[in-house]
Every structure is written in C-alpha cells, then in structure tokens.
C-alpha cells in the first residue's frame, strides 16, 4: 500500500515522504509562533468570558453599521424624491388650475361634490302586437 503523506515547501520543493499503513486522512495547518507568553495565554483563557462579551459587543456594532448606513441612504433617497415631487407639483399647478376651470386650490376638502343626473332618451319605437283571443 502507498498510504502516507508528502511534505512540500511553499516553493514546491519536496521535503519529506512518510508512508503509514491504515492512514486515511491528515489535516494540518501551519501556525506561526504565538507572540504571547504562556502566562498571558493562561490569563486570557481564564478571562475568556469577559473578553468574549467585549468583542461580541464590538462585532454587533460593526454588523449594525451597514444597516445604519443603508437606512441613511434610503432616507436621503426618499428626501430627494420628495423634493423632486414637490418641484414637479409646483410646476404643474397652472395646468391643474386650467383643468379645474380656474379653481386655484389642490385641496380636496375645499371642493363640494355634486351629483348631476342626466337622462337622455336615445330611441323610442312602437310596435303593435296582434294577440288572438285565448293567447293572453
């Protein structure tokens, strides 16, 4: 069997070949040496909950930042649209006034609704029907 593993350098130089029976998987990631002393590592492990709360709060702030920026962007877009709509509304006010027969107001509360019914006879025709006796 050829079970085993090869060790290569970062620049593709073959460093070692190790053969092993019953070898199925090998996971390895090189880790650089720690900059912390062993005492400092022990202290961090001891106070890990305190540190995790601190960094979770920072992570939450960072995760909320894009949504806050997105809300600000939407608010700005809405404000731009409102300003544009008001400008167009003012530009078209003369046309609307002409369509209302000179009435200047755009407010619905200032208008009185009137129902006008118009009846118009379109066509009248007379037809004589002959009925025989007993067919009524």
* pLDDT, tens digit, 9 for 90 and up, residues 65-108: 777 788 889 899 999 999 999 999 888 888 888 887 777 766 66
| Cα 114 to Cα 51: distance, rounded to the nearest angstrom | 74
pLDDT range class, residue 59, cuts 50, 70, 90:
confident
C-alpha closest to that of 47 among 94, 72, 55: 55
Residue 1 in this model has a pLDDT that exceeds 70: no
User: What is the band of 134 on the pLDDT scale with cuts at 50, 70, 90?
Assistant: low
User: Residue ranges of the alpha helices (H) in the chain?
Assistant: 38-46, 48-91, 93-99
First to last CA, the chain: 112
pLDDT at 66: 75
Output the pLDDT for position 136: 53
The pLDDT assigned to 37 comes to: 92
Percent of the chain with pLDDT over 70: 91
User: Using an 8 Å Cβ cutoff, are 6 and 16 in contact?
Assistant: yes
Rounded Cα gap, residues 56 and 136, in angstroms: 95
Q: Which residue has the higher pLDDT, 113 or 13?
A: 13
Do residues 94 and 103 lie in contact, with contact meaning Cβ atoms separated by under 8 Å?
Answer: no
């Amino acid at each position: 069997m050829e079970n085993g593993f090869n060790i290569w350098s970062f620049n593709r130089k073959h460093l070692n070949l190790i053969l092993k029976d019953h070898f199925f998987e090998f996971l390895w990631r090189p880790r650089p040496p720690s900059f912390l002393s062993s005492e400092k590592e022990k202290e961090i492990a001891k106070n890990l909950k305190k540190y995790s709360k601190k960094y979770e709060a920072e992570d939450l702030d960072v995760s909320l930042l894009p949504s806050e920026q997105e809300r600000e962007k939407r608010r700005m877009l809405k404000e731009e649209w409102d300003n544009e709509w008001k400008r167009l509304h003012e530009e078209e006010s003369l046309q609307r006034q002409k369509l209302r027969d000179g009435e200047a107001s755009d407010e619905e509360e200032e208008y009185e609704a009137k129902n006008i019914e118009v009846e118009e006879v379109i066509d009248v025709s007379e037809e004589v029907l002959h009925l025989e006796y007993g067919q009524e």
